[in-house]
Amino acid sequence: MTNISDTATSNGSLSLAAKVKDYFLLVKFTLSFTVVFSCVICYLIAPNVVEYNWAMIVLLFLAGMLITGSANAINQAAEKDTDALMKRTATRPVASGRMSQQEAYLFAFIAGLVGVLMMWYFFNLSSALLSALSLFLYAFIYTPLKKINSIAVLVGALPGALPCLIGWVAGNDDFSAGGWILFGMQFLWQFPHFWAIAWVAHSDYSAAGFKLLPAKKGPTQFTALQTIMYSVLMIPMGILPNYFGLTGEWSMWVVVICNLFMVMQSARLYKEMSVKAARRVMFSSYIYLPIVLLALLADKVR
């Protein structure tokens, strides 16, 4: 009897662990964490946030994870069939059949509603409305548009950058220049970042019918030129926080150096036209964002 009981308990524990793991996959935890990280840092950069209230920081993080997780859950439920076609996404819970679309949609509805209400109750109505807009754009505009036209990347860059503005508005309760500058920095960053990902995963995306690169022929020099162009545009955008007095010169030079590094990696992509070069752009963009945001925050508190 003891062995049977122990086995049942063990199986129950394994089932619970598997379900928790599936929910982590459903919300794309690592991606969601990165998005919410941007939101929290921009909240802390806001001039009206003069002291670190850790309770408010945790609440902002939780609300952000719920909202972002909701958008990602809707994305996976809607793309169940196409995810199943791609090696990279075939093991996701809805695509693999371990979780039903109904369960994913129910989770998304509850998580999104609770997250938006938290933003309203603990912060302000403006940040809540922005959060709801971001969720809507990602889940219901960007997600279906990916199969229609590559302009989806432009549309997707809006909810991708809104967390910066949401964090600013949550902290400052206004739409002043600082919030829009932070929004602009993350908006431009997404083009070399996402096109590098789309370049690396082009065969997978094409098999699923996604149109994400700016050239219809796939990875071309035109795509590489676009990556360079947006990387160059990031340079003057990175100077604006100092110009408007948001931060000092130290962080400005950190941002400029990081932007020049992104231009260099994008130029290498144009020269080499290889998946290896695209992967360098991709990983450089992953490193870029936390360095830039943390430099801006560090300069504020110096």
Query: Could you report the per-residue pLDDT of 270-288, keeping only the tens digit for each?
Result: 999 999 999 999 999 999 9
CA gap 76, 68 in Å, rounded = 12
In tens, the pLDDT along 198-233 reads 999 888 888 778 888 887 777 889 999 999 999 999
DSSP 202-225: HHHHHHTT---SSSTTSS-HHHHH
Domain limit, last residue, from 123, 158, 173: 173
pLDDT surpassing 80 at residue 301: no
Q: How far is CA 177 from CA 57, 182, 198, 246, 281, in A?
A: 22, 9, 32, 9, 29
What pLDDT sits at residue 12? 55
Eight-state DSSP code of residue 209:
T
User: Domain total for the chain?
Assistant: 2
How far apart are alpha carbons 195 and 211 in whole angstroms? 11
Task: Measure the CA–CA gap between 17 and 10, rounded to whole angstroms.
Answer: 10
Per-residue pLDDT band at 8 (split at 50, 70, 90): very low
Grade residue 18 by pLDDT with cuts at 50, 70 and 90: confident
Amino acid at 200: V
Residues of the domain holding 265 = 176-302
pLDDT (tens digit per residue) in 241-264: 999 988 888 999 999 999 999 999
Q: Does residue 174 surpass a pLDDT of 80?
A: yes
Residue after which a domain boundary falls, among 173, 207, 240: 173
Q: Quick check: 145 and 155 in contact, CB under 8 A?
A: yes
169 and 220 assigned to the same domain: no
